[in-house]
A and B are shown apart, each in its own frame.
Chain A
């Protein structure tokens, strides 16, 4: 074997080894010293949210995806490996719950074949290129040369590389396409599953709020806002939940546009804004709360706000 060919072969072997090692680390879910949330995300990134097709569980705010993340965390805490957890989900949701093909059976073939196709293609291109350098007129096709003329090898090589590269491209396209479909409809191919529309999200949010899970409730209200961006009452409700979840800075940013909107002042928005300003120790908090009292003197919270203002002055 010539030195150039040896170098080429060694290069291919190293590239394949690095790729396989990287895949093993990725599929293994990383090390145990990372924060729990990151370890949950590692597993959740590879699982398909069942109500939103190709959106990873890590990126979905749907109730089932939140439950799946809770389940992943519980199992990680119980000392189960990412592979065991993935297998647990496959037992319940089938292979389709995996965003990428599995690493055994037919799934393994899907990993190995494209890789093999690319390697064969690259080697063939290199051989073809070297052949051309040695004999520039090769491949002119005089009919008596070997069936492996450089032109033919080049065509086959390009075909192999194209097929190999088509796999990640197809995966990417299927993910993004399905994600768009998933955003439009939560039903996917399951046909008659309840589509989670804005009204359902409001119910989810209220239910989570009732359970005191303000972070999850705020996520659910944000889902409503994505569907109804101009809904002032939902915006105010989101701000209220953020406030209860001790995130007054975010609450301020969310409710300010509602409270300062032209037209009749919104009492509820003024109340949330005033309370958020107070939590942030802003000097205008009392003025905002007084405006709330003047706009909504009969509001159930009015008496408490009066006491608050009185106690302070």
Chain B
């Protein structure tokens, strides 16, 4: 190889190295800055969920051991939650025979406002754990409301939905889990 060729190879290698470094950094920064609706919790055991409910009783997720559980996070000040709660109540009714349970977390809300909304929606029996400081919502990795998680019979989080659930999504998530 002549001296001229060596120089060209050296220059090409340098350019490739710098370009590679730039791409690597850009990729890394992209992944550090992106926001996904998938949850880091999916595949992990469900976080603890226990506390006083809007009905004044104590509830713990442990009491539903062996059931497939829908965990929904809502608040009376959230418009889409108002639309979603009837869907969830209907889903609980439709899937009850398959052993599906529904638990909700009423986050950063006043109990009076929350109960009033449930009364309006005819859902006063909705099992709703109070979370006035939002700590339960954060423990579940919620980014906002409404959010819904599906927990399988072994207590593992299997899916997360950001925003209002749909019947189709519920069917897709619940069917394989209740069949087990």
CB within 8 Å of B: which residues of A?
A: 48, 50-51, 53-54, 63-64, 66-68, 70-71, 74, 90-96, 98, 100-101, 106-107, 109-110, 113-114, 117, 143-144, 147, 152, 156, 159-160, 163, 166-167, 170-171, 174, 178, 186, 188-194, 196, 199-200, 202-204, 206-208, 210-211
Given A144-B3, A163-B21, A189-B36: A194 in contact with B140 (beta carbons within 8 A): no
Let me know if A194 and B144 touch, CB within 8 A: yes
Let me know if B22 and A192 touch, CB within 8 A: no
Let me know if A193 and B134 touch, CB within 8 A: no
A258 to B161, CA, bound (A): 43
Let me know if A106 and B28 touch, CB within 8 A: yes
Let me know if A188 and B25 touch, CB within 8 A: no
Let me know if B137 and A67 touch, CB within 8 A: yes
A208 to B135, CA, bound (A): 15
- Count A-B contacts at CB 8 Å: 179
State how many angstroms separate the Cβ of B30 from the closest Cβ of chain A. Answer: 9
Most buried by A among B4, B35, B79: B35
Let me know if B32 and A92 touch, CB within 8 A: no
Which listed residue, B14, B32, B40, B113, touches A156 by the CB 8 Å rule? B14
State how many angstroms separate the Cβ of A104 from the closest Cβ of chain B. Answer: 13
Closest to A192 in B: B163
A50 to B103, CA, bound (A): 23
For window 85-124 of chain B, which residues contact chain A by CB distance below 8 Å? Answer: 107-110, 112-113
Given A51-B143, A67-B137, A109-B28: A210 in contact with B110 (beta carbons within 8 A): yes
Q: Report, nearest first, the 9 A-B pairs whose CB atoms are least far apart.
A: A67-B134, A203-B77, A192-B163, A50-B143, A92-B141, A210-B110, A94-B40, A193-B144, A207-B110
Closest to B135 in A: A71
Closest to A74 in B: B135
Given A109-B28, A113-B25, A206-B113: A174 in contact with B137 (beta carbons within 8 A): no
A178 to B32, CA, bound (A): 13
A53 to B32, CA, bound (A): 11
Additional A-B contacts beyond A93-B40, A193-B163 (11; CB < 8 A): A63-B134, A92-B47, A92-B141, A94-B38, A152-B11, A188-B35, A190-B162, A194-B79, A200-B77, A203-B77, A207-B109
For window 19-49 of chain B, which residues contact chain A by CB distance below 8 Å? Answer: 21-22, 24-26, 28-29, 31-41, 44, 47
CB within 8 Å of A: which residues of B?
A: 3-4, 6-7, 10-11, 14, 18, 21-22, 24-26, 28-29, 31-41, 44, 47, 75-81, 107-110, 112-113, 132-135, 137-147, 162-164
* Residue numbers in B under 8 Å from A191 (CB-CB): 37, 162-163
Let me know if B134 and A70 touch, CB within 8 A: yes
What are 19 of the A-B contact pairs (CB < 8 Å)?
Answer: A51-B143, A51-B144, A64-B142, A67-B134, A70-B133, A71-B138, A106-B31, A113-B21, A143-B7, A147-B10, A159-B14, A166-B22, A170-B29, A191-B163, A193-B162, A194-B81, A203-B77, A206-B113, A211-B132
Given A110-B28, A194-B78, A203-B77: A178 in contact with B133 (beta carbons within 8 A): no
A196 to B77, CA, bound (A): 10
Most buried by B among A100, A109, A152, A211: A211
* Residue numbers in B under 8 Å from A208 (CB-CB): 108, 110
A174 to B11, CA, bound (A): 31
Let me know if A113 and B24 touch, CB within 8 A: yes
State how many angstroms separate the Cβ of A120 from the closest Cβ of chain B. Answer: 10
* Residue numbers in A under 8 Å from B144 (CB-CB): 50-51, 64, 186, 190, 193-194, 196
Given A51-B143, A194-B79: A147 in contact with B7 (beta carbons within 8 A): yes
Let me know if B40 and A90 touch, CB within 8 A: yes
Let me know if A147 and B81 touch, CB within 8 A: no
Given A64-B137, A91-B40, A188-B35: A206 in contact with B28 (beta carbons within 8 A): no
Let me know if B41 and A91 touch, CB within 8 A: yes
Let me know if B77 and A68 touch, CB within 8 A: no
A107 to B33, CA, bound (A): 12
* Residue numbers in B under 8 Å from A163 (CB-CB): 18, 21-22, 25
* Residue numbers in B under 8 Å from A70 (CB-CB): 133-135, 138
Given A106-B28, A188-B35: A207 in contact with B113 (beta carbons within 8 A): yes
Most buried by A among B21, B77, B133, B142: B77
Which listed residue, A90, A156, A167, A200, touches B78 by the CB 8 Å rule? A200
State how many angstroms separate the Cβ of B2 from the closest Cβ of chain A. Answer: 9
A96 to B44, CA, bound (A): 18
Given A194-B163, A200-B77, A207-B77: A67 in contact with B40 (beta carbons within 8 A): no
